Amino acid sequence: MRLINTVLFAACLAVMFTIPLWADQGILFIAGLVLVEMVFALSWNLLFGFTGLASFGHAAFFAIGAYLCGYALRADIGAPFLLLILAAGVAGALAAVLTGIVLLRRTTGIHLAIFTLALAEILRILVGYSTALGREDGLASIPRPSLELGFASFDLASGEAYYWFLCIAASVIVGFLWLICHGPFGRILVSIRQDPERTTFMGINVPAYRLAAFTISGATSGMAGALYAPWAQIVTPESAHWIHSTQPMLASLLGGAQSFWGPVVGTVLFSIINYSTRNLVGLAELVIGVVLLVIVLAAPSGVVGLVHELRRRLTARVSHAGPGAEGKAGSKGKFVQEAA
Amino acid sequence: MAPIDLLFTFLNGLSTGMAVFLVAAGLTLIFGILKILNFAHGAFFMIGAYVAYSITGSNPSSLWIFILAALVAGVVVAALGFVTDRIVLRRLRNVDEAYTLIATFAVVLICSGVVKLIWGVNYASVNPPPLLDGAIAAGPLFIPSYSLFVIIAGFAVYLALDIAIHRTWIGKLLQSVANDGWMSGLLGINVPFALTSTVIASFMLAGLAGGLLLANQTLSPILGESYLLLAFMAVIIGGLGNVRGAFLASVLLGVIESGSSLLIPNMPGMATYVFVILFLLAKPQGLLGGHRI
């Protein structure tokens, strides 16, 4: 099983890195967007799938990062690109800390959803009003930077070069999130999602951990925005629109919110559906809607959960070892547990 | 600023608020009794508007055709509500609310895809029917008669809903189901039937609202979103699931929206969101929170 996973993972990485060699410009652009949205979806799911907080205004953090990076690149302030990405992360984290301090102690559930949504909409209106940020038209023709590493310098102006940079940057951020989710910190977050009260009884400062998760999520969302700005070369207030906030939710639930790789699978599936139905207006939404509905009704643990369930059944039949295999699948989340 | 401006702004706000309430009415009903936050409500509102548009065309020939179209839209959307309840909502009665949101969001996507496939993506607009296309002069004040119509329709729907819920046996029955579905079942109330009826009524209100509000907006596949957010805010500020609260909150939001477009015309919606945030920080349970329905 471990071998299969490793091979699968390596194959995905290989596909990701070789896309510029065999695909056309259109697909390359979509692949780059997938990488950005993937980081964004994973950031959102750190809150939802791991901590149990549903933010409906996550696009705000994304937009903060995107505007910061886009503005700095256009103004040509001479800061190294990597520093800009970090700055976008810090800005996202700051925004998350400020909102988190006010909101998290008071609200969860629907109220948190409405608060975050309203704040993001306020940001969108303010950005649309700001002349420096291009009002409703946004920042257009953002130049792609070059990467100065001290010992070497890479020009990222071409699509291929920036795409490879995106691959590496996204991998680093995803790796960082993976480490967070699979360490003691991640386990505490999961226990907060499952039962905040009991977690408090274990002596864990639940609000502090929630705030920490919110901050990390804001930071990585900001970085996703910073990666997006030079790729699309345009940033508009639409990036803060609540419709954009629903993107990571849909991707996470489609892929499986309770597993780390769910949002990644979901983002890729989304883009494939969108791309293959692009010729008939309305069909893409119809297909995505039906798929999403089937997933939520029939397999609430998403595509990844479905695959785990199938594997569990297969291995159970082969080895006749029910309980062990069941325990393995059950640890993936409460919905699988209930189903099993 | 002349007092006449203020009065005009207030009437405008009242009309906006009533429009919001027409959408929020069904939303708050379904939330109060089923505890489902129906994201798809705006989408069905949009379908109602498109159905009514198919009947009236761009120039409704008379007020009666306009109202008839709204009623037909209500019935069609109610039928869709029955189907949605069978396929989707019934399965979500005991599931975590996040999954309900996603499922209803999936329904939004399906609705918007179907609308695009049937009616296309082009904008359409509908003129108010004769009798409602003018304005009524009251002294120096000119009130568009369509705004007056929306205000009256909003009041009528509110009164009908309030009387149905608080003064009739059906309403009492629904209240008991909302309070304790299990106990109501033991007492011999057909709970699944009551819940399905609520869904149908809520969807009918959405379709009716779509038909009644048809005239003062451009018809496009994003119509659902424009009212949905305001209606959501009204439901939440009103105290989740409370019809009277939603009514008060809708009027409040309408007046704030219209007042802010007088004072800060460059930032539409800003005042509303700021108000919602401050209000909920001060009073998270809502205007009439605690009193269910």
More confident residue, B95 or A248: A248
pLDDT confidence of A75, banded at 50, 70, 90? confident
Q: Is residue A179 part of a domain?
A: yes
Tell me which residue in B120, B269, B284 faces A106 most closely, judged by beta carbons: B284
Q: B222 CB near a chain A CB, below 8 Å? A: no
pLDDT confidence of B293, banded at 50, 70, 90? low
Which of A171-180, B44-53, B76-85, B280-289 has the weakest average pLDDT?
B280-289
Q: Is residue B116 part of a domain?
A: yes
Check CB contact under 8 Å for A110 and B95: no
Q: According to the model, what pLDDT value does residue B72 have?
A: 94
Average pLDDT (A301-310) is 79
Of all residues in chain B, the percent with pLDDT exceeding 70 is 98
Q: B37 CB near a chain A CB, below 8 Å? A: yes
Check CB contact under 8 Å for A125 and B267: yes
Positions of E strands within chain B: 124-125, 135-138, 141-144, 218-219
pLDDT confidence of A335, banded at 50, 70, 90? very low
Distance CA B52, CA B181 (A): 36
Q: B204 CB near a chain A CB, below 8 Å? A: no
Q: A111 CB near a chain B CB, below 8 Å? A: yes
DSSP B293: -
Structurally, chain B folds into a number of domains equal to: 1
CATH number of the domain residue B8 falls in: 1.10.3470
Distance CA A91, CA A60 (A): 11
Distance CA A244, CA A193 (A): 24
Distance CA A240, CA B273 (A): 15
pLDDT confidence of A325, banded at 50, 70, 90? very low
Q: A281 CB near a chain B CB, below 8 Å? A: yes
Q: A110 CB near a chain B CB, below 8 Å? A: yes
Q: A183 CB near a chain B CB, below 8 Å? A: no
Q: Which residue of B has its CA nearest to A251?
A: B102
Q: Which residue of A has its CA nearest to B234?
A: A114
Average pLDDT (A143-169) is 83
Q: Under a CB-based contact definition with an 8 Å cutoff, are residues B251 and B238 in contact?
A: no
Of all residues in chain B, the percent with pLDDT exceeding 90 is 27
Q: According to the model, what pLDDT value does residue B95 have?
A: 74
Q: A118 CB near a chain B CB, below 8 Å? A: yes
The three-class DSSP label of residue B160 is: helix
Q: Is residue B129 part of a domain?
A: yes
Check CB contact under 8 Å for A289 and B110: yes
Distance CA A176, CA A9 (A): 17
Average pLDDT (A273-301) is 81
Query: Does the pLDDT at position A299 exceed 80?
Result: no
Q: Is residue A316 part of a domain?
A: no
More confident residue, A127 or B266: A127
One-letter-per-residue 3-state SS of chain A: CHHHHHHHHHHHHHHHHHHHHHCCHHHHHHHHHHHHHHHHHHHHHHHHHHHCCCCCCCHHHHHHHHHHHHHHHHHCCCCCHHHHHHHHHHHHHHHHHHHHHHHCCCCCHHHHHHHHHHHHHHHHHHHHHCCCCCHHHCECCCCCCEEECCCCEEECCCHHHHHHHHHHHHHHHHHHHHHHHHCHHHHHHHHHHHCHHHHHHCCCCHHHHHHHHHHHHHHHHHHHHHHHHHHHCCECHHHHCHHHHHHHHHHHHHHCCCCCCHHHHHHHHHHHHHHHCCCCCCHHHHHHHHHHHHHHHHCCCHHHHHHHHHHHHHHHHHHCCHHHHHHHHHCCCHHHHHHC
Structurally, chain A folds into a number of domains equal to: 1
Q: According to the model, what pLDDT value does residue A320 have?
A: 53
Buried b (16+ CB within 10 A) or exposed e, A77-113: eeeebeebbbbbbbbbbebbbebbeebbeebeebbbb
Q: According to the model, what pLDDT value does residue B206 have?
A: 93
Per the prediction, chain B carries an average pLDDT of 85
Q: Under a CB-based contact definition with an 8 Å cutoff, are residues B287 and B249 in contact?
A: yes
Q: Is residue A162 part of a domain?
A: yes
Query: How many C-beta atoms surround the C-beta of residue B26 within 10 A?
Result: 29
The three-class DSSP label of residue B2 is: coil
Q: Is residue B291 part of a domain?
A: no
From A288's Cα to the closest Cα of chain B, the distance in A is 7
Check CB contact under 8 Å for A282 and B110: no
Distance CA B139, CA A185 (A): 69
Q: According to the model, what pLDDT value does residue B116 have?
A: 87
- The distance of Cα A112 from the centroid of its chain, to the nearest Å, equals 19
Check CB contact under 8 Å for A121 and B269: yes
Q: Angle at CA A282, nearest 5°, toward A279 and B219?
A: 130
Q: Is residue A210 part of a domain?
A: yes
Q: Tell me the count of A-B CB pairs closer than 8 A.
A: 113
Q: According to the model, what pLDDT value does residue A339 have?
A: 37
**How much is the ipTM here?**
0.80
Q: What is the pLDDT of residues B243-271, one digit of tens each?
A: 888 999 999 999 998 888 878 777 777 88
Query: What residues of chain B lie within 8 A of the CB of A250, using their CB?
Result: 102, 105
Q: Is residue B290 part of a domain?
A: no
Check CB contact under 8 Å for A129 and B232: no
Q: What is the pLDDT of residues B133-181, one digit of tens each?
A: 777 777 777 788 888 889 999 999 999 999 998 889 888 888 888 888 8
Q: According to the model, what pLDDT value does residue B175 have?
A: 85
pLDDT confidence of B1, banded at 50, 70, 90? low
Query: Does the pLDDT at position A249 exceed 60?
Result: yes
Q: According to the model, what pLDDT value does residue A333 have?
A: 40
Distance CA A58, CA A246 (A): 8
Most A CBs within 10 Å: which of B31, B261, B273, B285, as the mutation test of the A interface?
B273
Query: How many C-beta atoms surround the C-beta of residue A234 within 10 A?
Result: 17
Tell me which residue in A48, A111, A281 faces B121 most closely, judged by beta carbons: A281
Query: Does the pLDDT at position A40 exceed 50?
Result: yes
Q: A101 CB near a chain B CB, below 8 Å? A: no
pLDDT confidence of A319, banded at 50, 70, 90? low
Q: Is residue A70 part of a domain?
A: yes
Q: Could you tell me the sign of the dihedral formed by the alpha carbons of B243, B34, A110, B270, in that order? A: negative
Q: According to the model, what pLDDT value does residue B158 have?
A: 93
Q: Is residue B243 part of a domain?
A: yes
CA-atom Rg of chain B in angstroms: 19
Domain residues for A103?
Answer: 27-242
Q: A243 CB near a chain B CB, below 8 Å? A: yes
Burial, A277: exposed, middle or buried (Cβ in 10 Å; 0-12, 13-18, 19+)? middle
Q: Is residue A332 part of a domain?
A: no
Check CB contact under 8 Å for B105 and A250: yes
Domain residues for B216?
Answer: 3-282
Distance CA A122, CA A194 (A): 32
Average pLDDT (A242-252) is 87
Check CB contact under 8 Å for A296 and B99: yes
Q: Is residue A67 part of a domain?
A: yes
Q: What is the pLDDT of residues B30-42, one digit of tens each?
A: 888 888 888 899 9
What separation in angstroms does the CA of B77 have from each of B44, B46, B80?
Answer: 7, 10, 5
Query: What residues of chain B lie within 8 A of the CB of A296, using their CB?
Result: 99, 102-103, 106
Q: A161 CB near a chain B CB, below 8 Å? A: no
Q: According to the model, what pLDDT value does residue A169 have?
A: 93
Q: Is residue A44 part of a domain?
A: yes
φ, ψ dihedrals at B125, nearest 5°? -140, 155
Buried b (16+ CB within 10 A) or exposed e, A27-57: ebebbbbbbbbbbbbbbbbbbbbbbbbbbbb
Query: Does the pLDDT at position A340 exceed 60?
Result: no
Query: How many C-beta atoms surround the C-beta of residue A339 within 10 A?
Result: 14
